Amino acid sequence: MKVLRQIPFFKCLDEDEMKQLEDITIAKKYKKGEFLFMEGEEPKWLIFLLSGSVKLYKTAANGKEIFLHQLAPMNFVAEVVNFENIVYPASAVFTISGEVLKINYEKFATLFLSNPKICMNLIKSMSEKLRITSNLLHQELVLNSEAKVAKFILMHEDLFNSLKHTKIASILNITPETFSRILNKFKTANLIKLDEKNQIIDKNVDELTQIFSY
C-alpha cells in the first residue's frame, strides 16, 4: 500500500514497521452522502482521510443537525475516540466523495503505541482537533452572520462551489434567507464574483478576511 509511505505521519517507520502497518490497513472509497460512522457507534478503526471532504455533526434532541466541522484530506478522523475508548459522539458523512484508510486500532495500539515518534504525532493531531473545537466556539459565540459567511468562502471554497446554498446555511447555523442576503451584499460590494452556476470565479481575500478578523 504505497499511499501509507506518502503520509508524513508514518514516515518515522522503518520498512518492517511499514509492512506491519500495511497488514492491518484497508482502503475504502465512499460516495457523497455515505456515512463514515454514526453517532453512538463503537470505533473499531483508526481512520485517515485520503481524499474527499467529511462533515462532522451532532443531532440534537429535537432532531436538529448541529454542524461541528468540515474535515479536509490528509487528516485523521475523530481519533480521540480510539484513545478514550468511547463511542462516536458525532456522525461523519461525506459531502464530497472520497477515500479513507481504516487501520485496525486494537492491533495498531499493540504494535505502534510504544513508538515515541508515533505517540508524539498522535498528540499533535489531537492538539489540532482541540484548536478546531476552539475555532468552532469562536465562530458560534463571537462571529456574526456576515463573518461566518466570509470565513467559509475563504476557508472552504471547494465546498462553497459544490454544496447547495441551503446546505451551507445549515452548516453555518443561519437561515437560507440570511445567507442569500449576505451573498448578494458581498456581490454588490465586489467582494466576490460568481458564475451562472454560483461558483466562485473571483474574491477579494483581504476585505473578506477583515470581515471576520475584528
Q: Using the CB atoms, write b or e for 52-73: b if 16+ within 10 Å.
A: bbbbbbeeeeeeeeebbbbbbe
What are the two backbone dihedrals, phi and then psi, of residue 29, each rounded to the nearest 5 degrees?
A: -100, 145
191: Cβ–Cβ under 8 A, 6 or more apart, which residues?
150, 203, 204, 207, 208
Each residue's pLDDT, cut to its tens digit, for the chain (214 residues) gives 778 888 877 877 888 989 999 999 999 999 999 999 999 999 999 999 999 999 888 887 787 777 788 888 988 898 888 888 899 989 999 999 999 999 999 999 898 888 777 777 777 766 666 565 555 555 555 678 898 899 899 988 888 988 889 888 887 878 899 999 999 999 999 999 999 888 999 999 999 999 877 5
Do strands 45-59 and 91-104 pair parallel, antiparallel, or not at all (unpaired)? antiparallel
In three-state secondary structure terms, 7 is coil
Separation of alpha carbons 198 and 165, rounded Å: 9
Structural domains present in the chain: 4-114 (2.60.120.10), 148-211 (1.10.10.10)
What is the separation, in whole angstroms, between the first and last Cα of the chain? Answer: 46
* Short-list 185, 191, 133, 163, CA closest to 32: 163
CA dihedral 111, 113, 115, 118 (to 10 degrees): 110
Q: Alpha carbon 149 to chain centroid distance? A: 17
Q: Alpha carbon 57 to chain centroid distance? A: 10
For 123, counting Cβ atoms within 10 Å of its Cβ (0-12 exposed, 13-18 middle, 19+ buried), the class is exposed
Q: Alpha carbon 170 to chain centroid distance? A: 16
pLDDT at 168: 87
- CB distance 68 to 113 below 8 Å: no
